[in-house]
Chains A and B, each alone.
Chain A
């Protein structure tokens, strides 16, 4: 069974930094693109960033470009999201999600349970 387990969430002050991690198991991690998707409390889903299986190519939503960095370690089956210059509007549950197949419009067929990031003074 595919399992995705996020960690690293917490309370951080505006302007601060936080690093999220996602530990993957149950599939050949390096073969699949991965993304981070967030959801502000009581709001809808927002794609944040994605990275190809090789780790060579990554993309970002305009709302986080220049502040967030996605990375992966295929030897450890982990996906990370380094978040800098955090703002109140970054407060959300952050989900790690696996793409079902390799395509620009691929669906996310497995999701972690989410980790909550709260940006507040």
Chain B
């Protein structure tokens, strides 16, 4: 059971918009710690997609965006493309665990 909760899977057709939620608690997201998002394509290492809730590293398309609401964060992908099919993970820090970065359980995005 992950400290941060994500839906196991989401899907959408090319061109559509999908969102992935990341639900935490008062010891992580609710405590004000930043949330980051990673994309992991099959057979590859994770790649930083969004950091500090809303910021995109250089080279990440603006089709990817992040937001926060209370003890949750969300990743939105617009104009869905086949190459977006991947696993997506949220990550934060949890003050109830010693020195611990925490990840969500991951969400498999399927492009129909």
Contact = CB atoms under 8 A, between A and B. Distances in A.
Interface in A66-120: 95, 100, 103-114
A35 B47 contact: no
A105 B34 contact: yes
A59 B100 contact: yes
A95 B34 contact: no
A105 B103 CA distance: 11
A45 B105 CA distance: 7
Given A45-B89, A47-B103, A95-B45, A105 B33 contact: yes
A60 interface: yes
A44 B89 contact: yes
Contact of B101 (A44, A47, A95, A110): A47
A105 B97 contact: no
Nearest to B89: A45
Residues of A in contact with B, size category: 20 to 34
With most chain B CB atoms within 10 A of its CB, the pick from A44, A60, A62 is A44
A107 B45 contact: no
A53 interface: no
Contacts of A113: 45
A111 B98 contact: no
Nearest to B49: A107
Given A37-B103, A44-B106, A103-B34, 15 more contacts: A44-B2, A46-B103, A47-B102, A50-B101, A59-B99, A60-B99, A62-B100, A100-B51, A105-B33, A105-B93, A107-B52, A107-B91, A108-B36, A109-B51, A112-B45
Interface of B: 2, 33-34, 36, 38, 45-48, 51-52, 57, 89, 91-93, 97-106
